[in-house]
Amino acid sequence: MCGAKAGGPDASSIRPGETTIQGQVTRDGEPVAGYVRLLDATGEFTAEVPTSATGQFRFYAAEGTWTVRALVPGATVDRTVVAQKGGLAEVAIAV
């Protein structure tokens, strides 16, 4: 399952007890608009959300190892993240 809040995620919208993967996509320190995909441990597509105007994204997922893939103009970047049950995994993606 995934979720994204219009205008970008903020700390007040984190659901207590949910496993959350969130982060920001930047280029040269500036936010980048695009999409972020969540792929499971086998590389299967699970979800996709647009970044906010500030390059932020958020997914609610099961615990485990995930790939977060940023798809922005001129670049595709993958980051591996391990999400703990009920925890918050932060991902910074520089393209």
Tell me if 56 is assigned to some domain: yes
The mean per-residue pLDDT over the stretch 4-28 comes to 71
Tell me if 5 is assigned to some domain: no
Q: What is the 3-state secondary structure (H, E, C) of the chain?
A: CCCCCCCCCCHHHCCCCCCEEEEEEEECCEECCCEEEEECCCCCEEEEEECCCCCEEEEECCCEEEEEEEEECCEEEEEEEEECCCCEEEEEEEC
pLDDT band at 7 (very low <50, low <70, confident <90, very high): very low
pLDDT digits (tens, 9 = 90+) for 44-79: 999 999 999 999 999 999 999 999 999 999 999 999
Tell me if 11 is assigned to some domain: no
- pTM over 0.85? The answer is no
Tell me if 90 is assigned to some domain: yes
Q: For residue 6, is pLDDT > 50?
A: no
Tell me if 8 is assigned to some domain: no
Q: For residue 3, is pLDDT > 80?
A: no
**The domain containing residue 23 runs over which residues?**
18-94
Tell me if 26 is assigned to some domain: yes
